[in-house]
């Protein structure tokens, strides 16, 4: 029997990390999967499924050596704490060096090195830190999750409008699960992954005008897309009760999408998962179903 490497996933209590582990479970022995989370109690169900669970906190480097002990492959799921990501990721990279991890795969941003999105800055810093580390690594440059837009459907139905500042920018959206499945496939692969850069995005691109029309068609409720200047869209998000950093992120990302920052037609994601990426219509239907 060939040796099954110990594959660790950080951020295992988050949406992407948890999904990646679920996909790994169909490809890799549960006992050789390690879920790392700030609060292990949140992933007790994974332990019950036979997955190893360890505590590891990006903000507490002292927890990371024990978390990564014996790890051969590491999926470094990017932190959700914008503005703190670079030092948090550096702490994990430093611990991975000390642990002798054989491969680090990092969930970056689509075309991070040329992206107009402000969100790209910390991703590029992390990519550069990986390069400087000497660790064998792969970059999983994820495009936009369809769920980033379907999360706002309830408000759109209430007001009859989808707000944004993406203009006619084309968005190559895929479901979060598509990206998670790709990560699991890469982590469980016998092929050499070091040095590879994957630009991952949905097979089909839509504009927000298209998105509003799809929601209208699914619900029978008239909905239009209203394009706003970036600052006005940010103000609208704040008025809707979103935290300032989220309003900044979404408005900046829409502005970047208007410049083509969230478009990719390489088909890499679909080829990697061996099927078409999840149609936006399906993600809309799931959101409407609650």
Task: Give dist(CA 64, CA 274) in Å, integer.
Answer: 34
Write out pLDDT tens, residues 74-88.
Answer: 999 999 998 999 999
Confidence bin at 1 (pLDDT 50/70/90): very low
| H or E element at residue 72 | none
Would you state the torsion angle of the CA atoms of residues 115, 97, 33, 186, taken in this order, to the nearest 10 degrees?
40
Residue 55 has pLDDT above 70, yes or no: yes
Residue 2 has pLDDT above 80, yes or no: no
Locate tokens 């990017």: which residue? 78
**What does the DSSP assignment read for 191-224?**
S--TT-EEEE--SS-B-HHHHHHHHHHHH-S--E
Confidence bin at 178 (pLDDT 50/70/90): very high
Q: What is the pLDDT of residue 246?
A: 87
Stretch 50-55: mean pLDDT: 98
Stretch 250-262: mean pLDDT: 96
26 three-class SS = coil
Q: What angle do CA 106, 178, 150 make, to 5 degrees?
A: 105
- Kindly report the pTM of this predicted structure: 0.96
Extract the tokens encoding 235: 């103000």
Write out pLDDT tens, residues 102-140.
Answer: 999 999 999 999 999 999 999 999 999 999 999 999 999
Residue 202 has pLDDT above 50, yes or no: yes
Q: Are 10 and 75 in contact (CB under 8 A)?
A: yes
Residue 241 has pLDDT above 70, yes or no: yes
Pick the closest to residue 81 from 131, 41, 38, 42 (CA basis).
Answer: 38
Stretch 255-261: mean pLDDT: 97
**Per DSSP, what are the bridge partners of residue 55?**
37
Confidence bin at 94 (pLDDT 50/70/90): very high
Write out pLDDT tens, residues 210-236.
Answer: 999 999 999 999 999 999 999 999 999
Which alpha helices (H) appear in 104-175, and where do they start and end?
Answer: 120-133, 147-150, 153-159
Q: What is the pLDDT of residue 171?
A: 98
Extract the tokens encoding 113: 């090195």
Stretch 182-198: mean pLDDT: 97
Q: What is the pLDDT of residue 290?
A: 80
Q: What is the pLDDT of residue 267?
A: 98
Q: Are 138 and 191 in contact (CB under 8 A)?
A: no
Stretch 241-256: mean pLDDT: 92
Residue 45's CB: how many other CB atoms inside 10 A? 11
Stretch 41-64: mean pLDDT: 96
């Amino acid at each position: 029997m060939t040796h099954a490497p110990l594959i660790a996933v950080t951020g295992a209590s988050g949406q992407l990390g948890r999904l990646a582990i679920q996909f790994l479970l169909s490809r890799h022995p549960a006992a050789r999967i390690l879920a790392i989370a700030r609060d292990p109690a949140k992933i007790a169900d994974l332990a019950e499924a036979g997955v190893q669970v360890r505590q590891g906190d990006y903000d507490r480097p002292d927890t990371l050596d024990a978390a990564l002990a014996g790890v051969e492959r590491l999926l470094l799921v990017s932190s959700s704490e914008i503005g703190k990501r670079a030092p948090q990721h550096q702490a994990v990279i430093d611990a991975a060096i000390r642990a002798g991890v054989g491969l680090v795969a990092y969930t970056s941003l689509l075309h991070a090195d040329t992206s107009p999105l402000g969100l790209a800055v910390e991703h590029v810093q992390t990519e550069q830190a990986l390069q400087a580390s000497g660790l064998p690594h792969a970059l999983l440059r994820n495009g936009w999750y369809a769920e980033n837009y379907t999360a706002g459907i309830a408000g759109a139905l209430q007001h009859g409008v989808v707000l944004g500042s993406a203009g006619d920018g084309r968005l190559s959206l895929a479901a979060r699960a598509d990206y998670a499945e790709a990560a699991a496939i890469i982590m469980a692969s016998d092929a050499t992954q070091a040095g590879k850069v994957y630009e991952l995005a949905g097979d089909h691109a839509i504009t927000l005008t298209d998105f509003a029309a799809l929601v209208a068609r699914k619900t029978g409720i008239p909905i239009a897309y209203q394009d706003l200047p970036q600052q006005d869209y940010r103000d609208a998000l704040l008025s809707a009760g979103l935290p300032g950093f989220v309003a900044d992120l979404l408005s900046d990302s829409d502005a970047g999408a208007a410049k083509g920052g969230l478009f990719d037609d390489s088909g890499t994601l679909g080829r990697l998962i061996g099927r078409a990426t999840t149609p936006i219509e399906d993600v809309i239907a799931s959101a409407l179903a609650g």
